[in-house]
Amino acid sequence: MSERKPYPSDLSDEQWSLIEPVITAWKDRHRSVSGHQGAYDMREIVNAILYQGRTGCQWAYLPNDLPPKSATYYYFAAWRDDGTDRVVHELLRCQVRERARRLEDPTLVVLDTQSVRVAAGVPAATTGYDPAKKVPGRKRGLAVDVLGLVVAVVVVAANTHDDAAGTALLDQVADHAGGTVRKALVDQGFKNQVVVHGAGLGIDVGIVERVPGHRGFLPQPKRWRVEQTYAILILHRRLVRDYEHLPASSASRVHWAMTHVMARRLTGANTPTWREPQAVPA
């Protein structure tokens, strides 16, 4: 890494070592015709992506001591399009599960959606109005395991019914979780369509009912994990509102945010909050 004052979002040496093999292998497969390796260190590119995710700054406002938008966005988009962001995320997810003495892939997932407002430049064709939550914008859907780790992500217009988001999530779970998932929990916003779709994939979908007569938020066994994950993601200011032109970029932001969280967990570092000053990484 170049000599500069570190940012709290920077990867430490130990954290970088977790993902460096994937990034280095990618770089080796994408050499220029002349063999030139590029002007920017790959660790600094990742640091720039993580900095933007944590601070929520615009591309043009990346600090001058980090790689510029032209370089950072090139790699962000390339890794988004070829799935490298998901490869890095999956590598760390499996390691976190193994450290918790669990198999690499879960047998149970929890599904939920979250509607968020969008920035002014987001194409109207990719947005909608969620009448239940009274939010204009996009809807994020997550499938998480019992540790709160993300197994699947979908980003759709906010007026998309939870059933459509849920079926897309179940398809991803079936494709990417090694066929191990046998049970999924959802709330009452999901209907029988998700249950039927899950049955076709060999996944038993259970709709968790609210406690009769209870008003306000009440954590539900196992289902509270997905709520916790949404809360953790909101610590990343780029995810407080959807700023991305493409829904695929929004999903990539979730993967990078969780990669950052898992890298900290694996190295014993807490995810910093905005209220607590943190020591910069070595």
CA distance 45 to 65: 11
Identify each DSSP E strand in 84-130 by its residue range: 108-116, 128-130
What is the value of pTM for the model shown? Answer: 0.90
Three-state DSSP at 143 gives strand
Strand partners, 118: 242
CATH 3.30.70 fits 104-244, yes or no: no
Strand partners, 142: 112, 153
Note whether 142 and 230 are within 8 A (CB).
yes
Q: What is the mean pLDDT of residues 162-190?
A: 91
In the chain, where the domains are located: 104-244
pLDDT in the model for residue 36: 58
**Residue 165 clears pLDDT 70, i.e. is over it:** yes
Give pLDDT tens digits for 218-233. 556 678 899 999 999 9
Residue predicted with more confidence, 217 or 257: 257
Q: What is the mean pLDDT of residues 3-25?
A: 95
pLDDT in the model for residue 1: 47
**Residue 215 clears pLDDT 70, i.e. is over it:** no
CA distance 235 to 29: 34
pLDDT in the model for residue 266: 96
Residue predicted with more confidence, 280 or 94: 94
pLDDT in the model for residue 42: 96
pLDDT category, 138, cuts 50, 70, 90?
Answer: very high
Count CB neighbours of 262 within 10 A.
Answer: 26
Strand partners, 144: 110, 150
Q: What is the mean pLDDT of residues 6-30?
A: 95
The percent of residues in the chain predicted with pLDDT above 90, rounded, is 78
Cα 118–chain centre separation: 17
Lowest mean pLDDT among 19-23, 33-37, 233-237: 33-37
Strand partners, 150: 144
pLDDT in the model for residue 217: 53
Q: Which two tokens stand for residue 55?
A: 């601070």
Strand partners, 115: 139
**Buried b / exposed e across 121-140, counting CB within 10 Å, b at 16+?**
ebeeebbbebeeeebbbbbb
Angle at 16 between CA 68 and CA 276, to 5 degrees: 80
Identify each DSSP E strand in 16-170 by its residue range: 108-116, 128-130, 135-144, 150-157
Count CB neighbours of 230 within 10 A.
Answer: 17
Residue predicted with more confidence, 275 or 20: 20
Lowest mean pLDDT among 28-37, 85-94, 149-158, 191-200: 28-37
pLDDT in the model for residue 277: 59
Give pLDDT tens digits for 54-112. 999 999 999 999 999 999 999 999 999 999 999 999 999 999 999 999 999 999 999 99
CA distance 218 to 223: 10
Average pLDDT, the chain: 90
Residue partners of 253: CB distance under 8 A and separation at least 6: 53, 236, 238, 239, 244
Q: Report the amino acid identity of residue 185.
A: L
CA distance 263 to 161: 33
The percent of residues in the chain predicted with pLDDT above 70, rounded, is 88
